[in-house]
């Protein structure tokens, strides 16, 4: 990935945002009760005032009231790469914590990354704690002669990405997981797939690896809950982690939508359970789902198994098609949803006032090794 170093932009002489000049708005509590609609003007004014000094990124699962201010909309890798290619000093990531960390790993030295709400985490990323992963690795090393290669999904903490880089592994995304796993098997005889059990299983199964040659490593049990024989037999060790949004989709949802809408096609994100992916007509990352639905002919009917904000946006952007959620009970990423227009306004107006709040900064050593793992993936493209 080209990471050219650009000259930082010159600061404008004066920036005028009335609320900031009045001294209002540098404490988040001042924003809590301001209605979303009245924040539109303030967000737009702060964005205008910052101009090219700030780039706002919006993940596909982000709510519309926030995503409408995004300069780029996309998945987390694409967004981090796009931001790194701008001259912006400030990268405001409307997404979750691991995404902001990834942006900080990939950005240029003069850029600072901001996460509008520090509580916007990811349940899946949090399921692989670095201490647990190191314990797992030590156990595998003690068994000896296992030649395992870590393959880590983008949706992971910077610490796990760095662990992957240090131990000869690579990052993957939901669209290139098979290519990365293939690469890993040229280097070792088994893969330790982190932190999403479902993406690991769906990918390996489609590569022709039978379910019997996979084993789930449960970090809350001694030796992952596996016998030495089970570990030795497993070509893929799947970390017991999952996305709380995608694992809500069930095979019976597929049966129901097919009964109710004959001719409808089901497309699922590969973070969904294996049983759902097996029943689906197609799988796709967020970008893959968007492309497949957009490319389908007018009149097509789709049930989509992914986060509801993306499903609703797809329905709006494809008015000639029927696009519904696979699960009638709204599947929302509650942590992503934490980023509200109030948080965006707070961070932007603080930037206008010359203050950086909620900066996400990865340590130098973590950044170095996480980049090694990311660059291994990018070199396979």
Q: Is 174 in the site for ligand 13P (CB under 6 A)?
A: yes
Residue with smaller CB distance to ligand SF4, 88 or 340: 340
- Most distant pair of Cα atoms in the chain: their distance: 69
User: Within 167-226, which residues bind ligand SF4 (CB under 6 A)?
Assistant: none
Residue with smaller CB distance to ligand 13P, 286 or 342: 286
Distance of CA 296 to the CA centre of its chain: 26
Q: Is 124 in the site for ligand SF4 (CB under 6 A)?
A: yes
Distance CA 162, CA 137 (A): 14
Among the candidate windows 46-54, 122-130, 226-234, 369-377, which touches ligand SF4 by CB under 6 A? 122-130
Q: Is 155 in the site for ligand SF4 (CB under 6 A)?
A: yes
Question: Tokens representing 16?
Answer: 């005028």
Q: Measured from the CB of residue 267, what is the shortest distance to ligand SF4 in angstroms?
A: 16
Q: Among 104, 30, 99, 90, which Cα is nearest to 351's? A: 90
Residue with smaller CB distance to ligand SF4, 139 or 244: 244
Candidates 285, 292, 296, 366; binder of ligand 13P (CB under 6 A) is 285
What 221-225 contacts at long range (C-beta under 8 Å, 24+ apart), as own/partner pairs, is 223/139, 224/136, 224/139
Q: Is the peptide bond before 195 cis (omega within 30 degrees of 0)?
A: yes
Residue with smaller CB distance to ligand SF4, 96 or 362: 96
Q: Is 173 in the site for ligand 13P (CB under 6 A)?
A: yes
Q: Is 123 in the site for ligand SF4 (CB under 6 A)?
A: yes
Q: Is 155 in the site for ligand 13P (CB under 6 A)?
A: yes
Q: Measured from the CB of residue 99, what is the shortest distance to ligand SF4 in angstroms?
A: 8
Q: Measured from the CB of residue 336, what is the shortest distance to ligand SF4 in angstroms?
A: 5
Beta carbons within 8 Å of 227's beta carbon, 6+ residues apart: none
Candidates 19, 75, 104, 349; binder of ligand 13P (CB under 6 A) is 75
Distance CA 58, CA 129 (A): 26
Q: Is 81 in the site for ligand 13P (CB under 6 A)?
A: no
Site string for ligand SF4, 309-338 (x = CB under 6 A): ------------------------x-xx--
Question: Tokens representing 67?
Answer: 């995503």
Candidates 43, 81, 176, 286; binder of ligand 13P (CB under 6 A) is 286
Q: Measured from the CB of residue 2, what is the shortest distance to ligand SF4 in angstroms?
A: 27
Q: Which does 123 bind (CB under 5 to 8 A by kind): ligand SF4, ligand 13P, none?
A: ligand SF4
Q: Is 75 in the site for ligand SF4 (CB under 6 A)?
A: no
Site string for ligand 13P, 215-254 (x = CB under 6 A): ----------------------------x-----------
Among the candidate windows 118-126, 197-205, 214-222, 346-354, which touches ligand SF4 by CB under 6 A? 118-126
Q: Among 28, 112, 3, which Cα is nearest to 340's? A: 28
Q: Among 17, 158, 31, which Cα is nearest to 97's? A: 158
HSE (CB half, 13 Å, CA atoms) of 195?
26
Q: Is 154 in the site for ligand SF4 (CB under 6 A)?
A: no
Q: Is 127 in the site for ligand SF4 (CB under 6 A)?
A: no
By CB under 6 A, name the binding residues for ligand SF4. Answer: 61, 96, 122-124, 155, 243-245, 307, 333, 335-336
By CB under 6 A, name the binding residues for ligand 13P. Answer: 60, 75, 154-155, 173-174, 243, 271, 285-286
């Amino acid at each position: 990935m080209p990471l050219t170093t650009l000259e930082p932009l010159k600061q404008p002489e004066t920036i005028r945002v009335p609320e900031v000049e009045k001294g209002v708005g540098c404490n988040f509590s001042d924003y809590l009760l301001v209605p979303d609609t009245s924040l539109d003007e303030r967000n737009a004014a702060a964005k205008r005032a910052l101009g090219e000094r700030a780039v706002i990124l919006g993940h596909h699962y982000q709510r519309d009231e926030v995503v409408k201010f995004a300069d780029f909309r996309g998945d987390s890798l694409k967004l981090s790469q796009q931001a790194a290619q701008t001259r912006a000093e400030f990268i405001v990531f409307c997404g979750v914590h691991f995404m902001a960390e990834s942006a900080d790993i990939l950005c240029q030295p003069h850029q600072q990354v901001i996460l509008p709400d520090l509580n916007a985490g990811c349940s899946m990323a949090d399921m692989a704690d670095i201490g647990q992963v190191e314990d797992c690795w030590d156990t595998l090393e003690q068994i000896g002669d296992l030649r395992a290669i870590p393959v880590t999904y983008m949706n992971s903490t910077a610490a796990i990405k760095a662990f992957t880089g240090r131990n000869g592994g690579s990052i993957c995304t939901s669209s290139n997981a098979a290519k990365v796993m293939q690469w890993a098997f040229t280097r070792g005889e088994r893969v330790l797939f982190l932190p999403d059990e479902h993406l690991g299983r769906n990918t390996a199964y489609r590569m022709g690896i039978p379910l019997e040659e996979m084993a789930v490593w449960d970090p809350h049990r001694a030796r992952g809950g596996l016998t030495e024989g089970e570990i030795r037999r497993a070509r893929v060790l799947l970390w017991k982690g999952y996305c709380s949004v995608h694992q809500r989709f069930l095979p019976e949802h597929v049966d129901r939508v097919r009964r109710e809408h004959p001719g409808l096609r089901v497309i699922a994100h590969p973070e969904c359970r294996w049983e759902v992916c097996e029943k689906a007509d197609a799988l796709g990352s967020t970008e893959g789902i968007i492309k497949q639905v957009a490319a389908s002919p007018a009149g097509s009917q789709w049930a989509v198994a992914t986060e509801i904000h993306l499903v609703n946006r797809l329905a709006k952007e494809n008015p000639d098609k029927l696009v519904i959620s696979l699960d009638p009970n709204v599947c929302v990423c509650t942590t992503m949803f934490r980023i509200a227009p109030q948080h965006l306004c707070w961070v932007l107006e603080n930037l206008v006032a010359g203050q950086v709040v909620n900066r996400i900064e990865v340590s130098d050593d973590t950044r170095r090794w996480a980049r090694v793992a990311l660059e291994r993936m990018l070199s396979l493209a």
